[in-house]
Amino acid sequence: MSQITIRKGADLDLRQSLNLLNEIIAIGGTTALTKPLTREDLRDWLMADPDSAAWHIAEDQDGTLLGFQWIGPWGDLPPEACEIGTFVKAGRTGLGIGSKLFEATKVAARAMGYDWIDAEIRADNTGGLTYYQSRGFEDYKRKDGIALDDGTIVSKCLKRYRL
């Protein structure tokens, strides 16, 4: 595998990030997102208040986006917690991309004053569950009967990483 570089995401990264995420959504089964996003949707999500949210990308030496990870105060979390989302290019999982992203994310979360990171993973997303477990996330709750935008009913496992 080529060298992986991790850096903060920027406006110029939105197109590649959008393409990567929409491909994952189209494949289905690993994200709660079921409808493609627009560039504006993704910008609003990833580039929220920089004092409480962070976005990192992983790219190879040619500048090809391999994945991205964000944290922020989404959902109904207390102010000392942030939520995380991790997306790795289809066919490139298990190669250390998510691990490298998480190292940068932990630093950012601590710098913003968070005490813990929340991950909500579809219970049928075995790859996602394994990824977060291997990073040291611990189970703390389960949500059953969650309706996705397309009507699919799923369960979610909630995991917590203490910073």
pLDDT per residue rounded down to tens, the chain (163 residues): 468 999 999 989 999 998 988 888 887 666 777 687 788 888 888 877 778 899 999 999 888 899 999 999 888 899 999 999 898 887 666 668 989 999 999 999 999 999 999 999 989 888 889 999 999 999 999 999 988 888 889 899 999 999 9
Q: If 0-12 CB within 10 Å is exposed, 13-18 middle and 19+ buried, where does residue 3 land?
A: exposed
CATH of domain 5-162: 3.40.630.30
pLDDT at 129: 93
Inter-residue contact 52 to 73 (CB < 8 Å): yes
Sign of CA dihedral 149, 8, 64, 66: negative
- Write down the domain spans for the chain: 5-162
User: Whole-model pTM above 0.85?
Assistant: yes
